[in-house]
Amino acid sequence: MYYFAVEGGTRLSGEISVGASKNAVLPMIAASLLADRGTTVLKNVPNNADVRTMLAVISQLGAEVDFDKKSHKVTIDASRVNSYEAPYDLVKKMRASFLVMGPLLARFGVARVSQPGGCAIGARPVDQHIRGFQKLGAKISETHGYTVAKAKRLRGTVLHFDRPTHTGTENILMSAVLAEGKTVIINAAQDPEVVDLCEFLKKMGAKIEGAGTSRITIRGVSSLKAVEHKPIGDRLEAGTFLFAAAATGGKVKVRGCPPEHLSAVLFKLEDMGAKITGGRNWIEISAPRRLKSTDIITDPYPGFPTDLQALAMAALSIAEGTGVVWERIFENRFLHVMELQRLGANITILGDRATIIGVDSLSGANVMASDIRAGAALVIAAMSAKGKSKISRVYHIDRGYERLEKKLQKLGAKIKRKEE
Ligand code: EPZ
C-alpha cells in the first residue's frame, strides 16, 4: 500500500498535458466487443487501474488485448470472443465493467454480468440500464448477484431515462447500434465522453444522430468493424490541475482538453478570482493570491461536474468568504469533508448541502482517500496547507490517474509516493 507525503506551500507553475479521458476510454474498450472483424486501436490511453481492469474484463471474455504502456496504445481483437460472463471479482473492482452488457447483448444476444453493487459515493443502481434493455426486447433475470440478459435480436424503440445517466446512455447506445430498426433515447446524457463514444461507434459503421443533445437517434446496422481512435482528453484530470493551481496561487497551462468541456468549471474559477485563457485544446489559469468564495451546484453535463465537486471544495476551504456546495447527483459524495476538516477546513454539512467558511490557511495532517476524486481533493488541500501531510489509500487515486504525483512534481509540488 502506498501513501503520498506532501509538503504544502509551493505555488504550482508550468505546463502539463492530460491523457485520454478514463470515462471515454472505458466505454470504448467495451464497444470494441461489437466488432466481429479487425483490430481496435485506442491512443493516448492512461495507464491507470480502471483501464487495466476493463481490459482484464474483455480478455476474460476471449478478446485479445495488448496495452503498450510506453506508447499508451491499446489494441484489441474481439473476433474470437467466446464467453459472455463478466465475473464478480472484476465487476466489484470497477462498476463500469457493467458497460460490457450492452455490447455482449447486441452482438451475441446474451450477457451475464455481476451486479455492480454500491460504492462509497452512493447506491448507484443500474435500473435505468436494465429498463432500457427490456424496452429493446431483452429478457432480464437476476440470479445469485448476476444480471442475465437474453434477446434473439434487439428491436429499436423509444425510451426515456428518468434522469440523464452517463453510463446508462452509453450502455443503451452500444446495444441499439445493432438492433433492428430505429431507437430514440430521450433525456440522454450529453457529456463529452458520450459524444466521443458516438464518434467512435460511427467510425465503426453505426448510424447515430443527436450525440451531445438530450435526444439521440440510432438506426441499427447488421455489423460493425474495428477502428482506430484517439479519445478526447480527460477533462477531470484537467480540472484537477486547474483547482490545484487555484488553491496554491499558481499559474499553470493544461494541454489536451478543450475549454468548452469544462465551461461550467472555468466560469466558477473566474467567479473565484482566477484569470482563465484558452485555445482549441488548452487552458491556462493564473490564480490570485487569495481566492474568493462562490456557490456550486452539481448537475448533469453541461452543469458543474459532480466529479470535480470535492476538488472545488478543497479550493473553497481557503477562499475568502462563505460558499455553499449543493451535491445533486450522488447521495453520499461528501466523504472528503471529514478529511478536509482534519486539515483545518471549516465545513458544515446539512443534507445534500455543505457550507464552507473559508479559513486563512489549512494545516498539514494525516488523511485518507475514500474515492478517486476525494483523494485528488485531499492532495490539493495538502499542497495548499502549511506543513506536512500524509494521504493514505492512494490506490483510490490510482484508479483514475496515471502517477498523479509525477505530474504534480513537474509543476513544482513537493509530493512523494512512499510505501506504508
Ligand atoms: C459516470 O458514472 C462516471 N463514471 C462517474 O465518474 C461520474 O461521477 C458519473 O457518471 C456522473 O457524472 C464513468 O463514466 C465510468 P450516472 P455513472 O449513471 O454513469 C443515478 C469517476 O470518478 N442512476 O450518470 O454510474 C445514479 O445513482 C466516476 O470516474 C440511477 O438511479 O453515473 C446517480 O445518482 C465516479 N439509475 C445519477 O443517476 C441508473 O440506472 C447519475 O449517475 C443509473 C444511474
* Domain 2-19+233-419 matches domain 22-229 at the CATH topology level: yes
CA distance 388 to 366: 9
Cα–Cα distance, 86 to 149 (Å, whole number): 12
Task: Decide: helix, strand or coil at residue 352.
Answer: coil
Contact status, residue 75 vs residue 84, Cβ threshold 8 Å: no
Q: Determine whether 257 is an active site residue.
A: no
Nearest CA to ligand 1 atom 26: 124
What is the position in ligand 1's atom list of the atom closest to the CA of 400? 29
263-267: Cβ within 8 A, 24+ apart: 263/302, 264/299, 264/302, 264/303, 264/304, 264/305, 265/239, 265/304, 265/305, 265/308, 265/312, 266/242
For domain 2-19+233-419, give the fold: UDP-n-acetylglucosamine1-carboxyvinyl-transferase; Chain (3.65.10)
Distance 124 CA to ligand 1 centre (A): 7
For residue 397, the CA-to-ligand 1 centroid distance in Å is 18
Terminal alpha carbon distance of the chain: 6
C-alpha separations of 302 from 16, 66, 266, 268 in Å: 24, 34, 12, 13
User: What pLDDT is attached to residue 265?
Assistant: 98
Atom of ligand 1 nearest to the CA of 163: 38
Please enumerate in sequence order all residues whose Cβ is within 8 A of that of 187, keeping only pairs 6 or more positions apart, or say none: 160, 161, 162, 163, 164, 214
Q: Which atom of ligand 1 is nearest to the CA of 26?
A: 15
For residue 127, the surrounding DSSP H or E stretch is helix 127-135
The pLDDT value recorded for residue 148 is 96
**pTM score, whole prediction:** 0.97
CA distance 3 to 391: 5
Q: Give the pLDDT score at 124.
A: 85
Q: Which residues line ligand 1 (CB under 6 A)?
A: 22-23, 26, 96, 122, 124-129, 163, 165-168, 306-307, 329-330, 372-373, 400
What's the pLDDT at 119? 77
* Residue among 48, 51, 49, 46 at smallest CA distance from 65: 51
Tens digit of each residue's pLDDT, the chain (420 residues): 999 999 999 999 999 999 999 999 999 999 999 999 999 999 999 999 999 999 999 999 999 999 999 999 999 999 999 999 998 988 888 999 999 999 999 999 999 999 887 778 888 889 999 999 999 999 999 999 999 999 999 999 999 999 999 999 999 999 999 999 999 999 999 999 999 999 999 999 999 999 999 999 999 999 999 999 999 999 999 999 999 999 999 999 999 999 999 999 999 999 999 999 999 999 999 999 999 999 999 999 999 999 999 999 999 999 999 999 999 999 999 999 999 999 999 999 999 999 999 999 999 999 999 999 999 999 999 999 999 999 999 999 999 999 999 999 999 999 999 999
Specify whether the CB–CB gap between 174 and 34 falls below 8 A.
Answer: yes
Domain segments of the chain: what residues?
A: 2-19+233-419, 22-229
For ligand 1, the distance from its centroid to the CA atom of residue 161, given in whole angstroms, is 13
Supply 255's cell numbers. Answer: 494541454
Amino acid letter, 83: S
Architecture of the domain delimited by 22-229: Alpha-beta prism (3.65)
Q: Whose CA is nearest to atom 13 of ligand 1?
A: 23
Burial 380-393 (b: 16+ CB within 10 A, else e): bbbbbbeeebbbbb
Encoded amino acid at 219, one letter: R
pLDDT at site 123: 81
Atom number in ligand 1 closest to CA 167: 19
Q: Which residues contact 24 (CB under 8 A, 6 or more apart)?
A: 192, 193, 196, 197, 231, 232, 234
What are residue 65's phi and psi, to 5 degrees?
-125, 140
For residue 302, cis peptide bond before it (omega within 30 degrees of 0): yes
Identify the active-site residue in 41, 56, 119, 120.
119
Closest listed residue to residue 320, CA positions, set 285, 341, 292: 292
How far does residue 170's CA lie from ligand 1's centre (Å)?
Answer: 11
Alpha-carbon span 23 to 213, nearest angstrom: 18
367 close to 382: Cβ distance less than 8 angstroms: yes
Q: What is the pLDDT of residue 208?
A: 98
Q: How far is the CA of 17 from the centre of ligand 1 (A)?
A: 26
DSSP per-residue string spanning 27-96: HHHHHGGGEEES-EEE-S----HHHHHHHHHHHHTT-EEEEETTTTEEEEE-TT----EE-HHHHTT-GG
